[in-house]
Amino acid sequence: MQTAPNDPLNRPTTPEAGPVQPAGTVANTPPEAPGAIRLWVRDLLISAVASILIITFLYQPVRVEGTSMLPRLEDRDRLFINKFVYHISAIKRGDVVVFRYPRDLEKSYIKRVIALPGDHLRIDHGTVWLNGKRQAERYVPEEYRDDGSMAEMVVPASHYFVMGDHRCISYDSRVFGAVDRSLIYGKAVFIMWPARDAGVVR
């Protein structure tokens, strides 16, 4: 058996193999390019499928048509609605919802929930009263208020009274009545376009 010249450890060598790799070290071998590409493609496909599933089953992009929800939502704003949230939580006063228009189910409207099933509601010269309490409605600017009135009513079971924030021009439950729960299919959550308006819908 030979020893490597000038090797103080006298590591054994063979003519074919050369010096033995010291114990506990790892050989420096470059990664295989085809394998790395396969991993990258796999991760990309998983991300794409996950994004499609999230958009398909949870969120849906929609476009606002009209100005009845000014000042927060403008004509042609693009936003995401959550289609799943009302399967696990209740509709609340103040939610901005998307629903099928009761008189033409091919059309969809977007309005704000003002009263829930069983609420006593009346409108006195533009001021909303719920269950005997005056509502502040800070989301309605003074210049968008109207002076209309409506006699007291009790919102029917499984129905929701909705109104636009631009009270002077909004066509809403004051005209077509409370909306059946089955027609409400989403909650507006986020404006994505135009960029200047991007943000959470409140």
Give the residue numbers marked as catalytic: 68, 111
Report pLDDT for 56.
Answer: 64
Report pLDDT for 40.
Answer: 85
Q: How confident is the model at residue 46 (pLDDT cuts 50, 70, 90)?
A: confident
Evaluate whether 69 touches 165 at the Cβ level (below 8 Å): yes
pTM for the structure as a whole = 0.74
Evaluate whether 174 touches 163 at the Cβ level (below 8 Å): yes
Task: State the Cα–Cα distance between residues 15 and 38, nearest whole angstrom.
Answer: 39
Output the CA–CA distances (angstroms, integers) from residue 139 to 69, 123, 153, 154, in the order listed. Answer: 10, 17, 23, 23
Share of the chain above pLDDT 70, in %: 81
Evaluate whether 59 touches 83 at the Cβ level (below 8 Å): yes
Evaluate whether 75 touches 85 at the Cβ level (below 8 Å): no
Residue 118 tokens, joined:
């069983």
Evaluate whether 162 touches 180 at the Cβ level (below 8 Å): no
**How is the chain split into domains, by residue range?**
61-200
Higher pLDDT, residue 61 or 174: 174
Superfamily of domain 61-200: Umud Fragment, subunit A (2.10.109.10)
Task: State the Cα–Cα distance between residues 95 and 113, nearest whole angstrom.
Answer: 5
pLDDT (mean) for 75-89: 94
How many alpha carbons fall within 13 Å on the CB side of residue 200?
2
Scan for tokens 């929609």, then name that residue: 62
